[in-house]
Amino acid sequence: MANVKLKNVTKVYDGKVTAVSNFSLDIEDKEFVVLLGPSGCGKSTVLRMIAGLEEITEGELYIDGKLMNQAESSERNIAMVFQNYALFPHMTVYENMDFGLELRKVPKSKRDSGIKETAEILGIEQILNTKPKELTAEQRQKAALACALVREPKVLLMDEPLSGLDAKVRVQMRTEIVKLHNRLKTTIIYVTNDQTEAMAMGTRIVVMKDGVIQQTDTPQELFAHPINQFVAGFIGSPPMNFIPVTLISKNNESFAVFEDKRIKIPEGKIKKLKDSSYLGREVIMGIRPEDIHDEEVFLHSVEGSSIEAYVELAELMGSETYLHLKAGSYSLTARVNPRSTARAGDTIKLAFDPNKLYFFDKTTQETLLNR
C-alpha cells in the first residue's frame, strides 16, 4: 500500500484551458479518499495525472515519497477501474484477470493462485469462465474490479465506477467496495459526482469546483461545517435552502429578516459570527430541509422561529415526506415526518431549527460562522 502526495499540481490544456489549479493533497496509506464535484470540475483529470495518463503541467506528484512526474504508468504500481469496465470482450473473466499479470511476466503458478484468491474475495468464482457480454452489469463491474485488484496495486483509482449501474445495484456495489477496503486496506482514490455515494464511502472527501479544491474533510465535518455556500449546497440531499436575509439586533435579540418574515437567532449562534459587523447587513442564510419542521410540538418549542408557507407539492416517500414550499417569493424544501398531513394547496406554519442555521457572505459565499 502507499501514500500519495500532490503538491501545487496544475493541468493546462493547449496552454489555454486550466482543468486543475494549484491542487495540493496528502493521502495517507490505507485511506479511502473521494474526489467529489460536478461534471467538468477536474476530478477525473486529477485521477488521470496520478495514473500517468495525463502529464502534469506544473507541480509535483509523489507516491511513497518518490517523485513520479516523469514515471511511466507501468512504473507506478497503480490500478484503475473505469466507468465502462474496460474488459476485453473476446476473453473470459479469468483471461481478462490473467492478461495484465502475464504482461508483467508473473509466473503461471502465482497468477493462478492470485486469480483464485481475488475471485473468492469478490465472490465471482462462478463467472471466471464467462465472457463479459454474458454477465450482468454488477458482475461486469466486479470483474473489472478483480482485474485491478489481482495486480496487488499500491493504489487503486476508481473513476465513477458505479455510474452506469441502476440504483439498487449501485447501493449493493457501494457496500461491497467499502467492505473490500476494510478487508484489504488498499489506498483508494475514488471519483464521483454523487454526494450520497461520497458520504457513504469516503474516510475523507475532497470537494472540487472549477478545478479548485473547495474543502477537504471527513463526511461528518463537511456536512456540519461547510466552508462556503457551494459546499453547503452540494453536500446533503435534498440540498440546503438559501435565502437572502438581513441580520438585525434589537433589545438584546437577533433576527434574520426576509420580506415580512423573521427568524429568531440564538445568542450562541450570534457569538459564532466571525465579524459582528455583519449585524445590520444582508447575508445568505442556509437551512437544511430536515431542519424545517411542521410538527406542533416543534412549533411551540421554537418561539420566534416560525413562518407561514404555501405547499406547492407534497412528495410522500414512505419513510419521510418532502414538502416543496413557497415562503413569500422564496422556494423552500422541507423533509418532514411521514405522518405530516400537509398537502398541496395548504398554507401551513413551519419552524426553522434556530441552532441549525448557516450564514454566508453575500459576495464571497464564505461561511460567516466559526466552528
Residues 22 and 83 in one domain: yes
The verdict on residue 365 lying in a domain is no
Contacts of 328 (CB under 8 A, 6+ apart): 258, 259, 260, 261
Residues 228 and 251 in one domain: no
Residues 341 and 200 in one domain: no
The verdict on residue 369 lying in a domain is no
**Range 220-229, long-range pairs (CB < 8 A, 24+ positions):** 223/199, 225/367, 225/371, 226/358, 226/367, 227/366, 227/367, 228/360, 228/364, 228/365, 228/366, 228/367, 229/284, 229/286, 229/360, 229/365, 229/366
- Strands (DSSP E) along 98-211, which ranges? 155-159, 187-192, 204-209
Lowest model confidence (mean pLDDT) among 58-62, 65-69, 90-94, 165-169:
165-169
The verdict on residue 180 lying in a domain is yes
Residues 227 and 181 in one domain: yes
Helix (H, G, I), strand (E, B) or coil at 190: strand
The verdict on residue 251 lying in a domain is yes
The verdict on residue 366 lying in a domain is no
Q: What is the mean pLDDT of the chain?
A: 94
Confidence band, pLDDT 50/70/90 cuts, at residue 74: confident
- Residue 196's pLDDT is 93
What pLDDT digit, counting tens, does each position of 298-348 carry?
A: 888 887 888 999 999 999 999 999 999 999 999 999 999 999 999 999 999
Residues 157 and 255 in one domain: no
Domain of residue 75, CATH code: 3.40.50.300
49-78: average pLDDT: 95
Domain-terminating residue out of 200, 234, 268:
234
Backbone dihedral angles phi then psi of residue 160, each to the nearest 5 degrees: 45, 55
What pLDDT digit, counting tens, does each position of 172-201 carry?
A: 889 989 998 998 899 999 999 999 999 999
Angle, helix 93-103 to helix 137-149, in steps of 10 degrees: 20
Beta bridge partners, 332, equal 325
Q: Report the alpha-carbon distance of residue 200 to residue 181 in Å, rounded.
A: 13
Backbone dihedral angles phi then psi of residue 2, each to the nearest 5 degrees: -155, 160
Domain count, the chain: 2
Domain of residue 257, CATH code: 2.40.50.140
CA distances from 16 to 11, 62, 72, 220, 253 (A): 10, 26, 25, 37, 52
3-state helix/strand/coil string of 274-320: CCHHHCCCEEEEEECHHHEECCHHHHHHCCCCEEEEEEEEEEECCCC
The verdict on residue 367 lying in a domain is no
Residues 197 and 130 in one domain: yes
For residue 82, is pLDDT > 90? no
**Structural domain range at position 354:** 241-360
For residue 275, is pLDDT > 70? yes
Contacts of 150 (CB under 8 A, 6+ apart): 97, 100, 101, 114, 115, 118
Residues 226 and 276 in one domain: no
Domain-terminating residue out of 195, 213, 234:
234
Residues 152 and 11 in one domain: yes
- Residue 303's pLDDT is 77
41-53: average pLDDT: 96
Greatest alpha-carbon pair distance for the chain in Å reads 82
- Residue 1's pLDDT is 66
The verdict on residue 58 lying in a domain is yes
Residues 223 and 314 in one domain: no
Residues 54 and 166 in one domain: yes
Domain-terminating residue out of 193, 212, 234:
234
Residues 82 and 210 in one domain: yes
The verdict on residue 247 lying in a domain is yes
Residues 261 and 345 in one domain: yes
